[in-house]
Amino acid sequence: MSDLTNLTVAEIRDGVAAGTFSAREVATAFNAEVEVGRKLNAYIVETPEKALEAADVADAVRKSGDLKPLSGVPLGMKDLFCTEGVQSTAASHILEGFTPTYESTVSARLWDAGAGMLGKLNLDQFAMGSSNETSYFGNVVSPWRDASGKDLAPGGSSGGSSAAISARLCPAATGTDTGGSIRQPAAFTGISGIKPTYGRCSRWGIVAFASSLDQAGSMARTVKDNAILLEAMAGFDPKDATSLDAPVPQWEAGLSSDLKGKTVGIPKEYRPDGLNPEIEALWDKGIAWLKDAGAEVVEVSLPHTQYALPTYYIIAPAEASSNLARYDGVRYGLRDLPDGAGLQDMYAATRAAGFGDEVKRRIMIGTYVLSAGFYDAYYTQACKVRALIARDFEAAWEKCDLLLTPTAPSAAFALGEKQADPLAMYLNDVFTVPASLAGLPAMSVPGGLDSAGLPLGLQIIGKALDEQGVLNASLALEERAGFTARPEKWW
């Protein structure tokens, strides 16, 4: 079997179970691709032995019929998840060399389900960014290219995950999404990714960015693979106080692209003046595809949409400044102790050396908006607007079951293009942030290629806990988009 790395998660699982190929063959094939793909810089740490170890377990239990839901499936793990005995850095210098003595709940669930780990995937530092350029370990390069031949951004922050999946360096991976970090990189690289309802996946053992927004999710090439992965990842965890104590539905079994009886809303505020005409055209196609699947389509209004981005860029940095206070040179990773320095000097030197520029920017903004004199003007106000944004969605649900929007305002841009202007970078999140602020499940699926040959994504947003509805509408889009494009191998 030469093309094992082109198989989906479902195909690997079923092929291993049927004995068509062994799990070891699959892991070996992916381990080889991970090596070949080093030019993409998608992995910070490679763990080929872990992939083989899980594969051997799968092959050993196959005959006794004791296979688990992900037996024989090797995965990439975003390096925001703490993995026992394997360096976990959040792509930062301050956590370089940090080797957790514990396993995050989500990764533990995946290993318990039989999956193996190919390695730890690169990301924007502390998941702050939209292009992967803030990683201390260097940017990820998208496997996609346009005619300019320039290196393109794979999106962020889960850009190692998106690049690795689209380049076939893993069949699927974990991601995390605080304001769009699963959906935007998925859109940029022609793959799918779902951010479930806030609280579905435990945050325990995930390096915290903005705790009221952070949510783990899955990234893969098909909607079905996302359903399979998410089912293994989700579930109540008493170790996370915000974990939802709700049963995890059988999302894979519940997949259906028949949308009869469903109403899909098109939020008119997501069509700003100057929206890229190719994205607008794809959105219109998406509307036609959902109608074809049996859905009724109506226009809805989410009037506070324009405030979502500024609200997010107050709340997320505020929480980040608090969460990142723990990195002081005492407990984890880096310690910078200048000669003769006292404790305060050590804190300052460690943090100055250990955090990148974007992380420092967020800490400063966050500290400012939480400071005694400005707390009410910024943080309290942002929390109130967040409630209004959530209320917009509640009102929309009176008229529809799901929403369809573009995922991002552009296709992948060139590395370096937006680096000098943080505000231009933040605009990437304009369509993804509202669902994050409201804690709603949302998914990006590839809809087609633009005129430059780069992928564009469509986003489905659903009601809280209705991942099934989101997956099903996404499946209806996937079936009609027929997206089979993949990047040509140049690496």
Q: In angstroms, what is the minimal distance from the CB of 127 to ligand GLN?
A: 4
Tell me if 33 contacts ligand GLN by CB under 6 A.
no
Question: Cα angle at 288 between 285 and 291, to 5 degrees?
Answer: 155
Tell me if 406 contacts ligand GLN by CB under 6 A.
no
| DSSP string covering 75-135 | EEEETTB-BTTB---TT-STTTT---SS--HHHHHHHHTT-EEEEEEP-SGGG--SSSTT-
Q: In angstroms, what is the minimal distance from the CB of 174 to ligand GLN?
A: 13
CB of 7 within 8 A of CB of 170? no
Q: Which is nearer to ligand GLN, 209 or 347 (CB)?
A: 209
Tell me if 469 contacts ligand GLN by CB under 6 A.
no
Nearest by Cα to 426 from 125, 34, 129:
129
Tell me if 41 contacts ligand GLN by CB under 6 A.
no
Tell me if 129 contacts ligand GLN by CB under 6 A.
yes
Amino acid in the structure at residue 210: A
Q: In angstroms, what is the minimal distance from the CB of 128 to ligand GLN?
A: 5
Write out the two tokens for 327.
Answer: 């990195």
Q: Which is nearer to ligand GLN, 130 or 202 (CB)?
A: 130
Other CB atoms within 10 Å distance of the CB of residue 172: 30
Tell me if 5 contacts ligand GLN by CB under 6 A.
no
Tell me if 227 contacts ligand GLN by CB under 6 A.
no
CB of 173 within 8 A of CB of 148? no
CB of 79 within 8 A of CB of 203? no
Q: Quickly tell me which residue has 């793990």 as its tokens.
A: 77
Q: What is the number of residues in the chain?
A: 491
Question: Which residue in the set 128, 141, 259, 314 belongs to the binding site for ligand GLN (CB under 6 A)?
Answer: 128
Give me the 412-441 binding string for ligand GLN, x by CB under 6 A, dash otherwise: -----------------x------------
**N-to-C CA span, the chain:** 22
Annotated catalytic sites, by residue?
Answer: 78, 157, 181
Phi, psi dihedral angles at 384 (to 5 degrees): -65, -45
Q: In angstroms, what is the minimal distance from the CB of 179 to ligand GLN?
A: 3
Please count the CA atoms within 13 angstroms of the CA of 373 that sit on its side-chain side: 1
Q: Which is nearer to ligand GLN, 320 or 475 (CB)?
A: 320
Distance of CA 149 to CAs 143, 145, 160, 262, 306, Å? Answer: 11, 6, 20, 43, 35
Question: Which residue in the set 157, 197, 222, 305 belongs to the binding site for ligand GLN (CB under 6 A)?
Answer: 157
Give me the 168-197 binding string for ligand GLN, x by CB under 6 A, dash otherwise: ---------xxxxx----------------
Q: Which is nearer to ligand GLN, 71 or 459 (CB)?
A: 459
- Contact residues for 357 (Cβ-Cβ < 8 A; gap 6+): 134
Tell me if 31 contacts ligand GLN by CB under 6 A.
no
CB of 187 within 8 A of CB of 429? no
Q: In angstroms, what is the minimal distance from the CB of 195 to ligand GLN?
A: 8
Q: Which is nearer to ligand GLN, 71 or 436 (CB)?
A: 436
Q: Which residue is nearest to ligand GLN (CB)?
A: 181
Tell me if 237 contacts ligand GLN by CB under 6 A.
no
Q: In angstroms, what is the minimal distance from the CB of 366 to ligand GLN?
A: 12
Which residues inside 194-213 make contact with ligand GLN, applying CB under 6 A? Answer: 209
Distance CA 280, CA 275 (A): 7
Tell me if 243 contacts ligand GLN by CB under 6 A.
no
Q: Which is nearer to ligand GLN, 128 or 194 (CB)?
A: 128
Task: Determine how β-strand 442-449 pairs with β-strand 192-195.
Answer: antiparallel
Q: In angstroms, what is the minimal distance from the CB of 182 to ligand GLN?
A: 7
Tell me if 122 contacts ligand GLN by CB under 6 A.
no
Rounded (to 5) percent helix, strand, coil in the chain: 40, 15, 45
Amino acid in the structure at residue 351: R
Tell me if 217 contacts ligand GLN by CB under 6 A.
no
Which residues inside 446-465 make contact with ligand GLN, applying CB under 6 A? Answer: none
Q: Which is nearer to ligand GLN, 54 or 408 (CB)?
A: 408
Task: List residues binding ligand GLN (CB under 6 A).
Answer: 127-130, 157, 177-181, 209, 316, 429
